[in-house]
Amino acid sequence: MHLGTYHSTHGRNHAFKLSHLLLTCAHSMHLGSFPFKMLLLPLCTRPSLRITLSKPSLVTTSIAGIGNNKSSSSSLSFQISRASSISTVSTAKEDAVMAQDGPNNQHPVQVAKHLEKFKTTIFTQMSSLAIQHGAINLGQGFPNFDGPEFVKEAAIQAIKDGKNQYARGYGVPDLNSAVAARFQKDTGLVVDPEKEITVTSGCTEAIAATILGLINPGDEVILFAPFYDSYEATLSMAGAKITCITLRPPDFAVPIDELKSAISKDTRAILMNTPHNPTGKMFTREELNQIASLCIENDVLVFSDEVYDKLTFEMDHISIASLPGMYERTVTLNSLGKTFSLTGWKIGWAIAPPHLIWGVKQAHSYLTFATSTPMQFAAAAALRAPDSYYEELRKDYKAKKDILVEGLKDVGFTVYPSSGTYFVVVDHTRFGLADDISFCEYLIKEVGVVAIPTSVFYLNPNDGKNLVRFTFCKDEETLRSAVGRMKERLKGKLCN
C-alpha cells in the first residue's frame, strides 16, 4: 500500500532522518516487525522518500498518528495526505503512476505545493472499486438513467445547425437570457443577462472562477463542513486561509455563535451550499437571515452553491441572494447536471452583480475562455422546461428516496433526514466497523454496495468517521437490489 511520497525541501539528510524516524515510530507503536518497507527514492540523487505499508490492514489512523506526533517533535514537517491516509485503493491511473513511480524509476510524481495534500478523489476511488467488485454504485452522484429527450434533441439540432465554434466567452446570449429568466422565476430577482451572468464549464468551474477571481492569497474563507471536495482544493490553489464550521447531526444546523466568532477582519467570504451535499440539509430561512446579517455587518461576501436547488422534498429552496441587502454581496453558482440528469455535459453559471461578476468573468476567461457551444444552446432549451418537468423530477426522486431511506432504516442504520439533494447520510456504527473507511470497504467487498465515506468532506476527518453517504440517483430497480443486498448480507452484522 503506497502511502505517499515525501519530498524534503531541506535536502537528502532530512529524508534519511525521516526514514529512521518512521521506523522507530513503527517499532514503538508495536506495528510488528518491519511492517514498513521504506524506499528512498532514489536515495542517491533525490531528497525523496516513498512510504509503503506492507500490511494494508493496519489502516491508517496509526500511520496518521505517526505523522502528527513525530513531525511536531522533529524539524521535519511531514504530513500524510488525507486522501492517501484513508485509502488502500488505487485506480488504474494511479497504478500506472505508481508503476512509473517505482523504486527503479527516476521520476516520482510531481505536483505543486498547494495541491500536494490532495490525491485521487474518493469518488474516483470508490467507483473504481465498485467495478472491481461488481458492487452496486450508490457512491458517486451521477444518475444511471439518461437526461430528457427534448434536451438531447436540442443539442443534436445545435450541432447540425453548425453551432460548433467558440462561443462568446461569458455565454451564448440565448443561455444567458434563459438563466436570467429562470433566476427571476425562482427568486424574483431581475438580473441583466449580459452584465450579471457568466456561463462556465459546470458548477465546478464556476466555483473555481469565483474563488480565483475574487479571493486574494491570505484572505480568509469560511466553509461549512462537511463540504464538497473541490472547495478546499480550489481555495488552496488561491492561497486562501480556510476556517471551518462543522455542521453536526442529527439536523446539521448552523451553529450561529461559532460562525459569529469565526468571522474576523480578514474574512472575505463564506462559501456555502444549499441544498447541501452530503447531508441533504437545506438552510432554513432563519439560518440564512442570520448568515446574511453577519455578512452585512462584517462586509463579507457569500458564494452560494445551489446545484441541487430543484431537488427538494420537504421545503422550498431559498437563494440567499434573494434576502434583503444580499444580492450585492452574493455570487450564486449553479449548473445543469443534477436538474437534467446530464452530469457529463458540464454546463454551469455564476450570477452576481456587475462589480462581482467582473472578477469571475476574468478568471473564467483564462481558465477555459468559453464552454461547449452546442451544449449551451441545449442548456437554454432545458432551462425553458415547463413547471411540469420540475414537478415530475421531484416526484420521481421522492419515490427513489423513499425506497432507499426505508430500506436503510430496515437494515438497521440510523438515517438522518435529508430535505434536498439526492443524498442521504447514515450512521454506520451499529455494524461495528472502526470508521467510515473500514465500513465502506466492508460494504463494497462483502456486501456488494458502494457508499462514500464522509470523512473526506471534513478538514478534520475524525468528524465524519461515523457517517457514510448513499445516493438515490439510480433507477428504482438498482435501489431495490442494493437494499436487498444490504438486508441479506449486512443486517446480521448489527451489534446492538
Ligand X SMILES: Cc1ncc(COP(=O)(O)O)c(C=O)c1O
Judged by the rule CB under 6 A, the positions of this chain that interact with ligand X are 141, 202-204, 228, 273, 277, 305, 307, 335, 337, 343, 346, 348
- Least separation in angstroms between CB 337 and ligand X: 4
Residue linked to cell 437490489 = 481
Q: Which is nearer to ligand X, 228 or 458 (CB)?
A: 228
Residue linked to cell 514537517 = 77
- Least separation in angstroms between CB 19 and ligand X: 39
- Least separation in angstroms between CB 204 and ligand X: 3
- Least separation in angstroms between CB 227 and ligand X: 8
- Least separation in angstroms between CB 346 and ligand X: 6
Q: At what angle do helices 202-214 and 354-367 cross, to 10 degrees?
A: 110
Q: Which is nearer to ligand X, 340 or 416 (CB)?
A: 340
131 and 450 Cβ atoms separated by less than 8 Å: no
Residue linked to cell 443524498 = 423
Q: Which is nearer to ligand X, 64 or 307 (CB)?
A: 307
Give the CB-nearest residue to ligand X: 202
Q: Which is nearer to ligand X, 307 or 357 (CB)?
A: 307
Q: Which is nearer to ligand X, 335 or 454 (CB)?
A: 335
- Least separation in angstroms between CB 202 and ligand X: 3
Q: Which is nearer to ligand X, 345 or 439 (CB)?
A: 345
Q: Which is nearer to ligand X, 39 or 351 (CB)?
A: 351
- Least separation in angstroms between CB 143 and ligand X: 12
- Least separation in angstroms between CB 276 and ligand X: 8
Q: Which is nearer to ligand X, 108 or 420 (CB)?
A: 420
